[in-house]
Amino acid sequence: MKTPQLAFALLAILLVVHVCVAVAAAPVAPAVARLMPLDGTWQPALDRADVGVKERWLTRDLFRRVRVPGDAFSPSVASRA
């Protein structure tokens, strides 16, 4: 292997290592910041034909309603476990 090729290969390896280290060291938002409360009334529907988005099911009043309590850590749910 010629010297310029070896230098290029080493430079490429160093670049890859640098990028990997930079990505690994990047700050990550805590998981709590991504939590979303799911308690409330839901209208679940099975979309076997994959048409729910096209037919805008979110804008319709579906026939079935399910009441979902707070998360598993809320006192009302944890006391029933």
The residue-averaged pLDDT of 30-46 equals: 77
Q: Hey, which bits of 2-80 come out as E strands?
A: 40-42, 66-68
Closest CA to 47 of 56, 39, 35, 38: 56
Q: 3-state DSSP call for residue 16?
A: helix
**Average pLDDT across the chain, whole number:** 74
Domain ranges for the chain, please list them. 3-78
pTM metric for this prediction: 0.39
